[in-house]
């Protein structure tokens, strides 16, 4: 079947119509147990009654006003997240790649404001997938992602996942941050060990800062 949509992924010949909890149903009524969960977006399942009602209530009032203005619900959610996590501020985005772009810019701007503009390099992992923007594919460096899109953006140093010594060795006076996926998806569903995940933060704090 041909489609007017630009091809991004090689799609399976199945179209889903609706979902309920952990199950989704295709246009022919066949039921599937959804292990994909919308690439982890639908973490509360499909058609959760509380979420459906909340969306319907909001859609009946306002869809969009821009963050040029105060958004009360957004303020309240940010406050709850700050109260229950390590964060001091929140930045809401529409996709993972926007979060990655913000993370890269934030790390570099932090050191620029400290008078250390040379600290702009980001350490990433081989096999990573951070999205399809230029910065994201430059960070990942996978051939299947970058072929045909050169020149890539500079400033990324890649190491093998799971090798903490290699990660420490990759840190230089120009390193601004380490960017990792705790569980690689496109890289083959590779979870990093708890030891690596625990070490990444202190490694950056002690060596980079």
CA distance 173 to 119: 7
State the pLDDT at residue 209.
Answer: 46
Query: What is the DSSP secondary structure assignment for residue 117, as one 8-state letter?
Result: T
Tokens at 144, concatenated: 């299947």
- Architecture in CATH of 96-208: 3-Layer(aba) Sandwich (3.40)
Residues carrying CATH 3.90.1150.10, the chain: 10-62
Strands 23-26 and 16-20: antiparallel
CB-CB contact of 137 with 146 (8 Å): yes
State the pLDDT at residue 194.
Answer: 79
Tokens at 152, concatenated: 């890539």
pTM: 0.83
State the pLDDT at residue 1.
Answer: 66
CA distance 127 to 124: 9
Question: Does domain 10-62 match CATH 3.40.50.300?
Answer: no
Alpha helices in 11-157 (DSSP H): 37-40, 49-59, 72-84, 96-113, 134-140, 143-146
Residue (of 147, 124, 119, 148) closest to 136 by Cα position = 124
State the pLDDT at residue 82.
Answer: 95
CA distance 200 to 196: 6
Residue (of 14, 48, 47, 44) closest to 32 by Cα position = 14
Tens-binned pLDDT, residue by residue, of the chain (209 aa): 678 888 877 788 899 999 999 999 999 999 999 988 887 788 899 999 999 999 999 999 999 998 899 999 999 999 999 999 888 999 999 988 999 999 999 999 999 999 999 999 999 998 888 999 999 999 998 898 899 998 999 999 999 888 888 888 999 999 999 988 888 777 667 787 877 777 766 555 444 44
Cα–Cα distances in angstroms (integers) from residue 50 to residues 27, 45, 47, 145, in the given order: 25, 11, 9, 38
Residues carrying CATH 3.40.640.10, the chain: 96-208
Place of tokens 């045909």: 148
CA dihedral 73, 74, 75, 77 (to 10 degrees): 90
């Amino acid at each position: 079947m041909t489609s007017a949509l630009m091809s991004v992924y090689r799609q399976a010949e199945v179209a889903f119509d609706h979902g309920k909890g952990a199950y989704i149903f295709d246009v022919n009524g066949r039921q599937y147990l959804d292990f994909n969960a919308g690439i982890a977006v639908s973490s509360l399942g499909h058609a959760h009654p509380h979420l459906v009602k909340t969306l319907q209530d909001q859609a009946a009032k306002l869809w969009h006003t821009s963050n040029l203005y105060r958004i009360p619900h957004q303020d309240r959610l940010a406050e709850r997240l700050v109260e229950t996590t390590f964060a001091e501020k929140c930045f809401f985005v529409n996709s993972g790649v926007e979060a990655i772009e913000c993370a890269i810019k934030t790390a570099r701007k932090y050191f620029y404001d400290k008078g250390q503009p040379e600290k702009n390099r980001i350490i990433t992992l081989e096999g990573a997938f951070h999205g399809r923007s230029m910065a994201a594919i430059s960070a990942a460096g996978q051939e299947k992602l970058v072929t045909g899109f050169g020149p890539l953006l500079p400033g990324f140093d890649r190491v093998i996942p799971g090798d903490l010594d290699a990660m420490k060795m990759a840190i230089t006076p120009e390193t601004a941050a380490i960017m990792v996926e705790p569980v690689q998806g496109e890289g083959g569903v590779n979870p990093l060990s708890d030891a690596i995940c625990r070490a990444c933060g202190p490694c950056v704090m002690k060596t980079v800062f």
